[in-house]
Amino acid sequence: MKASGPRASVVAALGSAQTLAWASSYYLPAVLAGPIARDLGIDVATVFAAFSFALIVSALVGPWSGRAIDRYGGRPVLMATSLAFAGALAGLGLATTPTALFAAWAVIGVAMGGGLYEAAFATLVRLYGPAARNPITGITLIAGFASTVGWPLSAWMTTHYGWRGACFGWAALHLSVGLPLYAFLPRASATRADAPVSLPPAGKRVPAAVPGAARVSATSILLAFVFAVTWFTSTAMAAHLPRMLQAAGASLAVAIGVGALVGPAQVAGRLLEFGLLRRVHPLLSARLAALAHPAGALLLLAGGSALAPLFAILHGAGNGILTIAKGTLPLVFFGPAGYGARQGWLMLPSRIAQAFAPFLFGLALDSWGARALWLTCGLGIAAFAALMALRNHPAAQPAQAAA
């Protein structure tokens, strides 16, 4: 049974609320870390350590949030995360010690674990079941502009009201915008989320007789690995792209200009997924996307800074499509039943990899310069190999349809 309410309106509301959630959490330290560190008399690294702590907390919260969405639907869970974001950001604005800083970011981590893409994907699967692929793409198209909106707005609020005022401003937006948008979402109590998935083939099908437990175990491990290494690369590039491009020979102005291409390239990749690639199996689009960063990295290493724009476009487009794959691949391999909890567990290693990515890639960049790209290039090729090891098969048909 389809969820009530116009689907386009649901996607618009959820995508807009996701833009707010990402802008006020994941993209917040890039602007506020410096002012916070100066005001509290600590190193900027300490602020980013608090952010990494939040990412680890979000990893631990993810499976429980997903299970709650499976049981109750996304509406109450996401509304609760709006309240958590608001309270945590207000607490961050009141922080005067490193302990208070870490405590506020810990609560932000709880909200992130229950209120970012994985929760939004689970909400859509709970509402629309196997038909959730296009809505998942839709919300990533909207929220793909989170940094485009978030960084300038954080900077504007910091300039006019200070970093504390910026935190209070984001908290107010969660209460006045995010919470009503989530309240608009339809209830999922009457939704069936157990129908089998029917998607175009991507290679040879595995016979239905393959033992389900072994197949699911191997598939889970491969997907968790793919998501972890791609999140590592995405976060490493988000933290160090300008410095990495400078190490490759670009000037600071060129590095910043090239870095600005990543966001539009991500949206372009998602538009490609929504248009041309929607007609193919998501496993095929994920394989192509996994090769985009390694291809761009090899071009940059071979051709130098002159090819930096091409690298940024390939990296951004691949990253944009892989973001969608994080939502669609678990759906096609395992089906909608229990999607939220499974998604939380699959993404747990990703959140941990994400937490350590800026530090580890920074060490590689300090030691190897632009050749640190060999690390992310190798990870991308490993992700492609893992995706090639997967074989398309329809999600298992439940023995008995849920009521």
Mean pLDDT by 10 residues, the chain (403 residues): 64 92 87 89 87 88 85 89 96 95 95 88 85 83 81 89 96 96 80 44 41 58 92 84 82 78 82 73 87 94 88 90 84 80 82 84 85 92 92 47 29
Question: DSSP state, 190?
Answer: T
pLDDT digits (tens, 9 = 90+) for 157-190: 999 999 999 999 999 999 999 999 999 888 865 4
- For the chain, list the domains and their CATH numbers: 7-184 (1.20.1250.20), 212-389 (1.20.1250.20)
Quick check: helix, strand or coil at residue 228? helix
Quick check: helix, strand or coil at residue 392? coil
Classify the C-alpha dihedral 203-204-207-210 as positive or negative. negative
> d(Cα 123, Cα 8) in Å, to the nearest integer?
14
With 0-12 CB in 10 A as exposed, 13-18 as middle and 19+ as buried, what is 21?
buried
Residue 144 makes CB contacts below 8 A (sequence gap 6+) with 263, 266, 267, 270, 320
Q: How high is the pLDDT of residue 403? A: 26
CA torsion, ordered 157, 52, 266, 346, to nearest 10 deg: -140
Q: How high is the pLDDT of residue 189? A: 55
Q: How high is the pLDDT of residue 82? A: 95
Q: How high is the pLDDT of residue 2? A: 44
With 0-12 CB in 10 A as exposed, 13-18 as middle and 19+ as buried, what is 356?
middle
Q: How high is the pLDDT of residue 175? A: 96
Q: How many CB atoms lie within 10 A of CB 209?
A: 6
In the Cβ-directed half-sphere of 281, how many Cα atoms lie within 13 Å? 22
> d(Cα 289, Cα 316) in Å, to the nearest integer?
10
Q: How high is the pLDDT of residue 201? A: 47
> Do the beta carbons of residue 36 and residue 122 sit within 8 Å?
no
Burial 287-321 (b: 16+ CB within 10 A, else e): bbbbbbbbbbbbbbbeeebebbbbbbbbbbbbbbb
Q: How high is the pLDDT of residue 392? A: 63
Most distant CA atoms of the chain, gap in Å: 64
Answer yes or no: pTM beyond 0.85: no
DSSP 319-375: HHHHHHHHHHHHHHHH-STTHHHHHHHHHHHHHHHHHHHHHHHHHHHHHHGGGGHHH
> Residue 316 corresponds to which tokens in the numbers above?
């951004």
